[in-house]
């Protein structure tokens, strides 16, 4: 009789799907199960996570859901610090899994909630001495957890020439690209971000596209892993998400659309290279938004908007609304935007 794993074990492994001759999708049900399982197991092994200890984390997205699933099946209390932008279906699911959702309401000066959320986590950790915080933005176990995905890609596809994926904490792209490069050092890594996200040097501001981008630069984002960065606007990402569904029947979320947009463009221009696009989560959570034509129209978007092509810019500040691309060249943030803007002492 084969040994069966629990739900996180069973769902965290992505499937590789062929989209065209040289373009493949790495489609996850919920990508964040990869770091969630790895971080929690490692912390328990290292004695940092005692049985029954509360887990505290800041997230308004899929890492929270993955942690809530992990904590439900291991019977651990979980507090998730989030902000008012959290969507109602996700919140219902988190609470049904037994998580406490703690909402911060104050924005940082740039408009984002990240700094306020981190301050709230620190407050909770001080109040709960045995609590454990997975710290997806700084914990090196986040990128390290993706070595298993790199192995899966190498087993199933052999040499991958280009990996394209959305960037939030940096864990998935940096972890997968660095592990793949042990076998294929010439792998091209393309990070997908959105305007007004500070990850690759844009000024902080309000963003419609959620799940990628950030209002702080996380320690887990190793800029030197990236050959190229694309900034994609919400409208193009939404239309590409719908296109991915209609054309390839892959029912995924909007960060997958952004990734597919950039990856399909690159693959079409490089027919001899094998490109893999990372698709981080399924579409169910977005049925009332990205998959609802009325919602798109009300926001000024359309499911049929043409993707077009990116404008190649020479600096992060030149990436204006639309779709921009910068040849990053595996440089640090300070090398690209200058030490002052990168916050380097
Ligand atoms: C739906 C979705 N896509 C992409 C990302 C970015 O992944 P990473 O945090 O590994 O950079 C996230 C991060 O939370 C996400 O929730």
The CATH number given to 33-127 is: 3.40.50.1100
pLDDT at 318: 92
Q: How far is the CA of 194 from the centre of ligand 1 (A)?
A: 13
Fold: same for 7-31+141-342 and 33-127: yes
| Per-residue pLDDT tens digits for 310-343 | 999 999 999 988 999 999 999 999 999 986 667 6
Q: Return the pLDDT at 205.
A: 87
* Integer Cα distance of 32 and 8 in angstroms: 10
Spatial distance between the Cα atoms of 192 and 213, rounded to a whole number of angstroms: 8
pLDDT (0 to 100) of residue 204? 87
Q: What would the pLDDT profile of 73-92 be if each residue is shown by its tens digit? A: 999 999 999 999 888 889 99
Residue 73 has phi, psi (to 5 degrees) of: -80, -15
Give the per-residue pLDDT at 345.
42
Q: Which pLDDT belongs to residue 291?
A: 98
Radius of gyration of the chain, Cα coordinates, nearest whole angstrom: 19
Which residue among 66, 134, 212, 260 has the greatest number of ligand 1 atoms within 8 angstroms of its CB, and so is best to mutate? 212
Pocket test for ligand 1, best of 25, 28, 32, 289 (most atoms within 8 A of CB): 32
Place of tokens 């042990």: 182
Q: What pLDDT was estimated at residue 306? A: 81
Report domain extents, the chain.
Answer: 7-31+141-342, 33-127
pTM, whole model, 2 decimals? 0.95
Nearest residue to 33 via CA among 52, 61, 4: 61
Sheet containing strand 78-82, strands side by side: 55-58, 78-82, 100-103
CB contact at 8 A, 8 and 69? yes
Residues of the chain with pLDDT under 50: 345
Give me the CATH topology for the region 7-31+141-342: Rossmann fold (3.40.50)
């Amino acid at each position: 009789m084969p040994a069966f794993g629990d739900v996180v074990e069973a769902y965290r492994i992505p499937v590789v799907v062929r989209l065209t001759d040289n373009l493949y999708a790495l489609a996850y049900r919920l990508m964040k199960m990869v770091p969630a399982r790895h971080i929690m197991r490692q912390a328990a092994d290292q004695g940092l996570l005692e049985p029954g200890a509360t887990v505290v984390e800041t997230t308004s997205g899929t890492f929270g859901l993955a942690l809530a699933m992990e904590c439900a099946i291991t019977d651990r209390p979980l507090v998730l610090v989030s902000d008012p932008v959290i969507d109602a279906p996700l919140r219902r699911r988190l609470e049904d899994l037994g998580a406490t959702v703690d909402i911060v309401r104050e924005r940082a000066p740039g408009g984002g909630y990240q700094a306020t959320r981190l301050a709230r986590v620190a407050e909770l950790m001080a109040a709960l001495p045995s609590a454990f915080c997975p710290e997806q933005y700084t914990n090196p176990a986040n990128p390290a957890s993706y070595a298993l995905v790199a192995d899966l890609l190498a087993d199933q596809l052999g040499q991958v020439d280009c990996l394209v994926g959305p960037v939030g904490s940096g864990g998935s792209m940096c972890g997968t690209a660095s592990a793949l490069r042990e076998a294929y050092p010439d792998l091209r890594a393309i990070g997908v971000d959105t305007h007004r996200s500070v990850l690759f040097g844009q000024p902080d501001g309000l963003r419609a596209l959620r799940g990628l981008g950030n209002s702080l630069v996380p320690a887990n984002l190793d800029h030197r892993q990236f050959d190229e960065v694309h900034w994609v606007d919400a409208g193009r990402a939404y239309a590409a998400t719908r296109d991915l569904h209609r054309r390839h029947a892959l029912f995924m979320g909007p960060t997958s659309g952004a990734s597919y947009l950039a990856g399909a463009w690159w693959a079409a221009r490089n027919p001899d290279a094998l490109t893999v696009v990372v698709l981080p989560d399924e579409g169910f959570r977005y049925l009332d938004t990205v998959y609802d034509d009325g919602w798109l129209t009300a926001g000024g978007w359309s499911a049929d908007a043409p993707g077009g092509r990116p404008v190649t810019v020479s600096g992060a500040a030149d990436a204006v609304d639309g779709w921009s691309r910068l040849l990053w060249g595996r440089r640090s943030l300070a090398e690209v935007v200058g030490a002052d803007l990168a916050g380097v002492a």
